[in-house]
């Protein structure tokens, strides 16, 4: 029996889904596939797993819940454990590099990618009595594939007399893709619709559509806070960097004046959480709070409990840089309007929200603001459907979203900000009507909305390379991937490109998986990296390749500019110092030819050594490494190492913090290994005489021709190979900002 505390039980009873528990459970008991659609916040994610648990579905087997986002998997498992008064041993999560699942786990929240991997070792998923695919409307690649696979697994389990339930949960969006696809489900699954108490939301369009939507959003928030009645504000922007910049400006405009009240509140919070007592170093004292407490002396600051400063700080300033896409569009960002304090206005409790925000900081948005403050949350589209934020009355919608675009032929990726879909802006607006009537301010005109917005965003599977998916499906003996019951099929060109790339790698021949292909699919990395790992075993280079592959799989290891703002003089000095260190890391001869990848290897090696001496943070700061990336690389190295040990017990591979840099011969072999994995990604230097009449030759100094690309691609500014300009290079990725750039570049020498 579940014994819940009173406060939680009262909150649950307010959720509309609770009134329908009995009906929902009856339909689940009578059907093997069920679609459950309901407005965001109706209680699907937190309550349905509890209904199943209480109905006995976790007695013999586990209940699986998949989420497309890591943040949702972690935060929902915590919330459900708390609601049920059970430990995280029983209500657990599992994401790519971490988790707390145990043998006693009853309900397991995991990312959809993790469940797909589990399918490879047990195609029937016999551990589970129910699989819930949450947020199916997001149409993530893995959720889509899981729907297809589970549509076959469910009848198989039935046949074996060991039935399993499949529950597809979704916002009320585009359900026809699941219900009227006869290839997917022969018998149309029943759809349960849960109504949420939704209050009317008044939509206000702008008369004109301004280019500078961040400035517009700032102005709107100021206007709401200075002229409109009580009620929380939720602002949608496109990425982490925009979130932080807007939060900073709003904190500057509306400092927290009633400090004593806030401290009282913070004390409460602190008593409740009673942990995290580390000292606050001066450098930890963060901008937002500095403004908030600008009248107080430094001494005083130290007395304030850490929880206070920490939770009202922006992590990017003290912990990490932004995710990589955010750094690519730096040219657009800082149209830094001078913000001055708005006097006589209510203080604004401004909080950031985005996927990579540490979860204890995410939890802040669920707690009420300090007395006398208005809540204001600046969020990416995480707040659209995955997390429900209480007490929002005003939504400010920039109408923008950031997507990673991928060119199906050339493989070039780019991040672009463009208009979101009608469906998602309606979701955003809906966030304002959860606790009472609300308002949504759309920072674009109704003409733009009607004429330019698409109805829905296209499913992710049509916008991504499908190589790893294709290989995984082949390994599951899915012969004709083209005939797979995808909810929405990727286009033929994507599948063909994936197949031919896998054939080039040697993972497939004539459409069948080779032994190498099987080995490759065991590694939780892209197939090309899997191949590099498989080969380096033969050369006794596994520790290096593991390290390189791990480093290449993590975004933005080496920073371009310091995280903390500095003056232009200082900035220049720091950049020069970092560049000098990187040149030194690059070394000579074959090491130098290994180029950017040598620098990566040395950087990670040196950081791990510093870590073994307890000096990681200092080392990262001084040398321009992103500390979080180093930690993630370490996790990935351990995970890959364990995976290799399982498959090849005789392999000599450990994660050694004192790993010496590769010697000249090893560097040469590593180049060959890189080439074997990325042989389709080669570029040739553009000779000066090839530059067309009238074009500026200087501009083409770092230009290359990449295979099957018309436009030139360039060596990135941070590349150590800009000094030597090799004739041929192999690159890890091309991305586009104002120009096309190559990342992770190594030289190829004719042997």
Rounded CA gap, 310 and 329, in Å? 28
Strands (E), 578-664: none
Q: Candidates 20, 33, 34, 40: give the one binding ligand ADP (CB under 6 A).
A: 40
For 444, how many CA atoms within 13 A lie in the half-sphere containing its CB?
A: 20
d(CA 583, CA 599): 8
DSSP 440-454: EEESS-HHHHHHH--
DSSP code string of 700-750: GTTEEEETT-SS-EEE-TT-GGGTT--SEEE-SEEEESSSEEEES-EEE--
**What is the biggest distance separating any 2 CA atoms in the chain, rounded to whole angstroms?**
80
In the complex, what is the shortest distance from the CB of residue 196 to ligand ADP, in angstroms, rounded to a whole number? 7
240 lies in the site for Mg ion, by CB under 5 A = no
Residues pairing with 6 in the sheet: none
Task: Kindly tell me which of 67 and 177 has the beta carbon lying closer to Mg ion.
Answer: 67
Of 35-43, 231-239, 267-275, 648-656: span binding ligand ADP (CB under 6 A): 35-43
Of 28, 34, 37, 38, the one binding ligand ADP (CB under 6 A) is 38
Given Mg ion, ligand ADP, none, residue 154, with its beta carbon under 5 to 8 Å by kind, binds none
The helix-helix angle for 596-612 and 542-553 (nearest 10°) equals: 100
> Do 583 and 636 form a contact (C-beta atoms < 8 A)?
no
What DSSP element (H or E) covers 377? strand 374-379
Q: Which is nearer to ligand ADP, 67 or 317 (CB)?
A: 67
Q: Taking CB under 6 A as the rule, does residue 16 contact ligand ADP?
A: no
Taking CB under 6 A as the rule, does residue 46 contact ligand ADP?
A: yes
Q: Is position 388 an interface residue for ligand ADP (rule: CB under 6 A)?
A: yes
Query: Hey, CA dihedral for 21, 26, 29, 32, is it positive or negative?
Result: negative
Binding site partner of 38, from Mg ion, ligand ADP, none, Cβ cut-off 5-8 A by kind: ligand ADP
Determine the interface stretch with Mg ion among 37-45, 222-230, 406-414, 580-588 (rule: CB under 5 A): 37-45
For ligand ADP, the closer CB: 382 or 740 = 382
Phi, psi of 542 (to 5 degrees): -50, -45
| Nearer to ligand ADP among residue 36 and residue 292 (C-beta) | 36
The answer to whether 209 contacts ligand ADP (rule: CB under 6 A) is: no
User: In the bound complex, what is the minimum distance in angstroms from residue 36's beta carbon to Mg ion?
Assistant: 10
**Chain residues 567-626 in contact with ligand ADP, contact rule CB under 6 A:** none
Question: Could you tell me which residues are beta bridge partners of residue 397?
Answer: 236, 442
- Interface with ligand ADP (CB under 6 A), residue from 61, 79, 302, 306: 79
Indicate which of Mg ion, ligand ADP, none lies near residue 439 (CB less than 5 to 8 Å, by partner kind): none
Q: Toward ligand ADP, which CB reaches closer, 42 or 140?
A: 42
Cα-trace Rg, the chain: 27
The Cα–Cα gap between 570 and 644 comes to 45
Q: How many CB atoms lie within 10 A of CB 5?
A: 10
Interface with ligand ADP (CB under 6 A), residue from 28, 35, 37, 45: 45
Nearer of residues 65 and 237 to ligand ADP, judged by Cβ: 65
Site for ligand ADP in 324-383 (CB under 6 A): 363, 366
Segment contacting Mg ion by CB under 5 A, of 43-51, 256-264, 282-290, 632-640: 43-51
User: In the set 20, 35, 36, 45, which binds Mg ion (CB under 5 A)?
Assistant: 45
Nearer to ligand ADP among residue 42 and residue 681 (C-beta): 42
| Pairwise CA distance, residues 202 & 198, whole Å | 12
Interacting residues with Mg ion (CB under 5 A): 44-45
Interacting residues with ligand ADP (CB under 6 A): 15, 38, 40-47, 75, 79, 363, 366, 388, 390
């Amino acid at each position: 029996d579940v014994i819940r505390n009173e406060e939680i039980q009262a909150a649950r009873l307010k959720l509309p889904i609770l009134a329908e528990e009995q009906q929902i459970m009856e339909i689940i008991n009578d059907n093997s596939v069920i679609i459950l659609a309901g407005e965001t916040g109706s209680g699907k994610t937190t309550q349905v797993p509890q209904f199943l648990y209480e109905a006995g579905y976790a007695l013999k087997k586990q209940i699986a819940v998949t989420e497309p986002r890591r943040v949702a998997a972690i935060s929902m498992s915590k919330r459900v454990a708390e609601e049920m008064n059970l430990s995280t041993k029983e209500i657990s999560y599992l994401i790519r590099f971490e988790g707390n699942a145990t043998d006693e786990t009853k309900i397991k929240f995991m990312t959809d990618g993790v469940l797909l991997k589990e399918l490879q070792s047990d195609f029937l998923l016999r551990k589970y009595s129910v699989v819930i695919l949450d947020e199916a409307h997001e149409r993530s690649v893995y959720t889509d594939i899981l729907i297809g696979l589970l549509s076959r697994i469910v009848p198989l389990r039935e046949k074996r007399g060991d039935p399993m339930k499949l529950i597809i949960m979704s916002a009320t969006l585009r359900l026809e893709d699941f219900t009227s696809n006869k290839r997917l489900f022969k018998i149309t699954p029943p759809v349960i619709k849960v109504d949420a108490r939704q209050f009317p939301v008044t939509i206000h369009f702008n008369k004109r559509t301004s280019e500078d939507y961040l400035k517009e959003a700032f102005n709107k928030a100021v206007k709401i806070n200075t002229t409109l009645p009580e009620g929380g504000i939720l602002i949608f922007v496109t990425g982490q960097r925009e979130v932080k910049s807007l939060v900073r400006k709003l904190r500057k405009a509306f400092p927290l004046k009633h400090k004593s009240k806030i401290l009282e509140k913070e004390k409460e919070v602190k008593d409740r959480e009673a942990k995290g007592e580390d000292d606050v170093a001066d450098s930890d004292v963060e901008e937002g709070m500095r403004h908030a407490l600008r009248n107080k002396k430094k001494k005083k600051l130290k007395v304030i409990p850490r929880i206070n400063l920490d939770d009202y700080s922006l992590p990017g300033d003290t912990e990490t840089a932004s995710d990589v896409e955010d750094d690519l569009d730096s040219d657009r960002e800082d149209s830094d309007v001078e913000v001055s304090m708005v006097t006589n206005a209510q203080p604004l409790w401004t909080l950031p929200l985005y996927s990579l925000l540490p979860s204890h900081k995410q939890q802040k948005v669920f707690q009420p603001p300090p007395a006398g403050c208005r809540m204001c949350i600046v969020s990416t589209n995480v707040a659209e459907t995955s997390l429900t934020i209480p007490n929002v009355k005003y939504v400010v919608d920039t109408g923008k979203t950031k997507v990673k675009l991928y060119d199906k032929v050339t493989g070039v990726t780019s991040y672009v900000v463009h208009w979101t879909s009608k469906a998602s802006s309606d979701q955003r607006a809906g966030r304002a009507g959860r606790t009472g009537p609300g308002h949504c301010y759309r920072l674009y005109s109704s003409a733009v909305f009607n004429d330019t917005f698409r109805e829905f965003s296209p499913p992710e599977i049509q916008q991504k390379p499908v190589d790893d998916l294709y290989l995984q499906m082949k390994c599951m003996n899915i012969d004709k991937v083209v005939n797979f019951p995808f909810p929405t099929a990727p286009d033929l060109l994507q599948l063909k490109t994936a197949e031919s790339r896998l054939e080039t790698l040697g993972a497939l021949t004539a459409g069948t998986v080779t032994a190498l292909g099987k080995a490759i699919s065991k590694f939780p990395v892209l197939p090309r990296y899997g191949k590099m790992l498989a080969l380096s075993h033969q050369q006794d280079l596994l520790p290096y390749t593991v390290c390189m592959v791990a480093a290449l799989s993590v975004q933005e290891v080496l920073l371009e500019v310091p995280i903390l703002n500095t003056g232009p003089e200082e900035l220049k000095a720091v950049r020069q110092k970092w560049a000098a260190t990187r040149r030194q890391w690059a070394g000579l001869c074959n090491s130098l030819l290994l180029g950017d990848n040598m620098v990566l290897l040395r950087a990670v090696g040196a950081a791990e050594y510093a870590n073994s001496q307890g000096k990681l943070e200092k080392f990262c700061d001084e040398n321009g490494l992103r500390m979080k990336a180093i930690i993630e690389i370490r996790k990935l190295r351990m995970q890959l190492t364990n995976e290799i040990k399982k498959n090849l017990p005789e392999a000599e591979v450990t994660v050694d913090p004192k790993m010496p840099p590769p010697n000249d011969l090893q560097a040469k072999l590593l180049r060959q290994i890189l080439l074997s994995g990325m042989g389709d990604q080669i570029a040739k230097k553009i000779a000066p005489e090839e530059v067309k009449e009238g074009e500026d030759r200087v501009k083409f100094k770092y230009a290359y021709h990449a295979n099957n690309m018309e436009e030139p691609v360039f060596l990135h500014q941070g590349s150590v190979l800009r000094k030597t300009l090799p004739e041929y290079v192999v690159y890890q990725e091309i991305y586009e900002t104002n120009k096309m750039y190559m990342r992770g570049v190594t030289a190829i020498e004719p042997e």
